[in-house]
C-alpha cells in the first residue's frame, strides 16, 4: 500500500487532485478546500494578515517607536518604517514583559505565556511571546496537516497513534508568566487533551517530567494496545530511535509487567501508575510474544513485527534529523516516513502536502494565514529593502525566513534557511536547509549541518557498509592537532548491519 501511495502523489504538488478531494471525508473536505483557497490567494491573504496585525497592535509601544499609527496598515509604510529585528533587538522589550510590565509593549493583546526556544541558536533559550488567539491559529494548522495525512493514508481515524511525546518542566518569569517549551505548551492545551483518545499514551505519562518513567509507561501502554496502533512516531526522529533503543534494553521487564499485570516499581509517579492501571492487564500470550520477538536479536522491521497494522512513521527527518533516516527504515521495514508540518516557537509555518514523499524530497507549503512572511535572500545584506514577500520568492533560491506575528514579533529573523522547491497553486514550497547560526567554523572554513550529513553518508557508504556496519547517530568535534584544523564526525553509536 505504501509503495502505491508514493507513486501517485506527484500530481498533487500543484493542486490537490479531484480524486483526492473525492476520497476525503468530512471534516477533511472542508480543510482541503481551505488549503486550496489559501494557496490560490497567497498575496491577498498576506496583505490582509499584515493589515490585521498592524491594526490591532497599532497602539503597542514597539510599533509606535517605529512611527506607525492605526492608519498605517499598508505594506509600503510597514517596509519603510519597521526595521528587521534580531532577538537581541527585542530582548529589552521581552524582558520588561517577563518582569511584569503589562502595558502594550509588543502587542495590545495581553501576553499569556512565553514559549522557550530549543536553544539551537548559539545555545541561548529565547522567550517568544504568545497571545490567546495564537493557540487557535496553531490548532487550525495542525488540523489541516491531519486532514492531508488522512487523504494519503486512509483509515487512520479507526486506530491509534503510538507517539513518544515528552513534556518538560515549566518555569515562571519574575512577573509570573509561564515559560515553557512550545511542545509542552501544546501537550498541556485543551485541544490536545480533547484528542488524547487518539494516542496509546495516557496524558499522565506524556506530562510526567521524569523522562525515564514517561518512556517506560508510554512503551508499556503501546505494547498493550499493539493491535490498535496504525502509526508510530515522535516529534523528532532522534526521539523515535531512542524509543526503539529503550525497547531493546527493557523488553524483558516490560514483558514481565504484562505477564503479571503489575507495573514495575521504577514508575513511582502516582498519576502515571493510576493511568497505566486502566490499560495494563495480565496477558501471558502478549508477554510470550514480546519475549519471542525481542530475544531473537534481530531488530529488522521490529516496528511492523510488534505493531503489525502500522501504516507510517510520523517524525521530522529534515535538517540534522536526516541522519536517522536509514536507522528508521531499518527498524520499520521501509514504512513511509511522514514529516507533516513545519513549526517553531515563533509561529507555525506550513504543511507537507505530499506526506508520503521520500525523506529527501520533503518540502513545506507555508500557509499564508498564520503570520506575515518575508524572506531575506542568502548572501545579501540584512536590510529591510532586501526582503522579498512570500508570493515573490524565486524558485531554486535560498532565503532566511523573517516573520511578523500577531503576538508582536515584527520583521523578526527566525534563523531558518529555506530553499524554494516549487509551488502549490500560488504558494511557494520550501525545503528546510539549515539553521543560519549553526555552522562549524575553523581555519576560516564554514561547514553547515547539511554538508556534514553528506560527508558522513559518503564515508559510511565507502567504509562501513561493505563491512556490515552502519552509523546510528553522530556528532562532530574539532581537530586542531595538525594544521590546518578541521572538523571530523564523532560516532557515539554504530551497529552491525543484518
Q: What is the DSSP string of 254-322?
A: HHHHHHHT---TT---HHHHHHHHHH----HHHHHHHHHHHTT---TTHHHHHSTT--EEEEE-SGGGG
Task: State the DSSP code for 298.
Answer: -
The tens digit of pLDDT for each residue in 427-450 reads: 999 999 988 765 544 443 445 555
Mean pLDDT lowest among 13-27, 59-73, 417-431: 13-27
Q: Which residue has the cell 511578523?
A: 404
Please provide residue 125's backbone torsions phi and psi, each rounded to the nearest 5 degrees. Answer: -90, 120
The two most distant CA atoms of the chain are separated, in Å, by: 72
CA within 13 Å, CB half, 187: 25
Q: What is the pLDDT of residues 99-151, one digit of tens each?
A: 999 999 999 999 999 999 755 444 557 999 999 888 888 888 889 999 999 99
Residue 225 buriedness (CB in 10 A; 0-12 / 13-18 / 19+): middle
Q: How many residues does the chain have?
A: 498
The mean-pLDDT minimum among 65-74, 142-151, 376-385, 469-478 falls in 469-478
Domain boundaries, the chain: 39-119+129-134+362-432, 156-335, 451-496
Least confident of 192-196, 274-278, 295-299: 192-196
pLDDT, residue 385, reads 85
In tens, the pLDDT along 73-87 reads: 899 999 999 999 999
Amino acid at each position: 500500500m505504501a509503495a502505491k501511495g508514493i507513486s501517485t502523489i506527484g500530481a498533487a504538488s500543484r493542486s490537490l487532485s479531484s480524486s483526492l478531494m473525492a476520497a476525503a471525508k468530512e471534516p477533511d473536505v472542508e480543510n482541503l478546500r481551505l488549503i486550496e483557497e489559501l494557496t490560490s490567494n497567497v498575496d491577498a491573504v498576506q496583505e490582509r494578515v499584515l493589515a490585521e496585525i498592524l491594526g490591532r497592535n497599532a497602539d503597542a509601544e514597539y510599533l509606535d517607536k517605529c512611527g506607525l499609527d492605526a492608519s498605517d496598515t499598508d505594506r509600503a509604510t510597514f517596509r519603510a518604517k519597521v526595521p528587521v529585528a534580531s532577538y537581541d533587538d527585542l530582548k529589552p522589550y521581552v524582558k520588561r514583559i517577563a518582569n511584569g510590565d503589562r502595558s502594550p509593549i509588543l502587542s495590545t493583546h495581553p501576553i499569556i505565556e512565553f514559549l522557550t526556544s530549543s536553544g539551537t541558536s548559539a545555545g541561548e533559550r529565547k522567550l517568544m511571546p504568545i497571545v490567546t488567539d495564537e493557540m487557535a491559529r496553531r490548532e487550525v494548522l495542525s488540523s489541516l496537516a491531519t486532514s492531508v495525512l488522512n487523504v494519503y493514508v486512509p483509515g487512520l481515524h479507526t486506530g491509534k497513534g503510538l507517539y513518544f511525546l515528552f513534556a518538560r518542566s515549566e518555569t515562571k518569569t519574575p512577573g509570573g508568566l509561564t515559560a515553557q517549551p512550545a511542545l509542552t505548551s501544546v501537550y498541556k492545551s485543551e485541544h490536545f487533551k480533547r484528542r488524547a483518545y487518539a494516542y496509546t499514551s495516557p496524558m499522565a505519562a506524556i506530562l510526567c517530567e521524569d523522562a525515564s518513567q514517561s518512556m517506560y509507561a508510554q512503551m508499556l501502554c503501546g505494547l498493550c494496545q499493539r493491535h490498535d496502533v496504525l502509526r508510530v512516531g515522535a516529534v523528532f526522529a532522534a526521539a523515535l530511535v531512542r524509543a526503539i533503543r529503550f525497547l531493546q534494553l527493557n523488553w524483558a521487564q516490560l514483558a514481565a509487567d504484562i505477564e503479571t499485570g503489575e507495573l514495575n516499581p521504577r514508575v513511582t509517579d502516582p498519576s502515571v501508575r493510576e493511568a497505566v492501571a486502566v490499560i495494563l492487564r495480565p496477558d501471558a500470550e502478549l508477554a510470550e510474544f514480546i519475549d519471542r520477538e525481542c530475544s531473537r536479536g534481530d531488530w529488522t522491521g521490529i516496528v511492523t513485527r510488534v505493531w503489525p497494522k502500522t501504516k507510517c512513521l510520523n517524525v521530522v527527518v529534515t535538517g540534522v534529523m536526516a541522519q536517522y533516516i536509514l536507522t528508521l527504515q531499518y527498524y520499520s521495514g521501509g514504512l513511509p516516513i511522514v514529516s507533516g508540518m513545519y513549526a517553531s516557537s515563533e509561529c507555525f509555518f506550513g504543511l507537507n502536502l505530499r506526506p508520503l514523499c521520500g525523506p529527501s524530497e520533503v518540502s513545506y507549503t507555508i500557509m499564508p494565514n498564520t503570520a506575515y512572511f518575508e524572506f531575506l535572500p542568502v548572501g545579501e545584506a540584512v536590510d529591510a529593502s532586501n526582503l522579498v514577500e512570500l508570493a515573490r520568492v524565486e524558485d531554486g533560491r535560498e532565503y532566511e525566513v523573517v516573520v511578523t506575528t500577531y503576538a508582536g514579533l515584527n520583521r523578526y529573523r527566525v534563523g531558518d534557511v529555506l530553499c524554494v522547491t516549487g509551488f502549490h497553486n500560488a504558494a511557494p514550497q520550501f525545503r528546510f536547509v539549515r539553521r543560519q547560526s549553526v555552522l562549524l567554523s575553523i581555519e576560516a572554513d564554514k561547514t553547515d549541518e547539511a554538508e556534514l550529513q553528506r560527508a558522513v553518508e559518503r564515508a559510511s557508504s565507502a567504509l562501513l557498509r561493505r563491512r556490515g556496519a552502519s552509523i546510528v547517530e553522530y556528532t562532530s568535534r574539532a581537530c586542531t592537532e595538525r594544521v590546518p584544523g578541521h572538523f571530523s564526525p564523532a560516532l557515539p553509536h554504530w551497529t552491525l548491519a543484518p
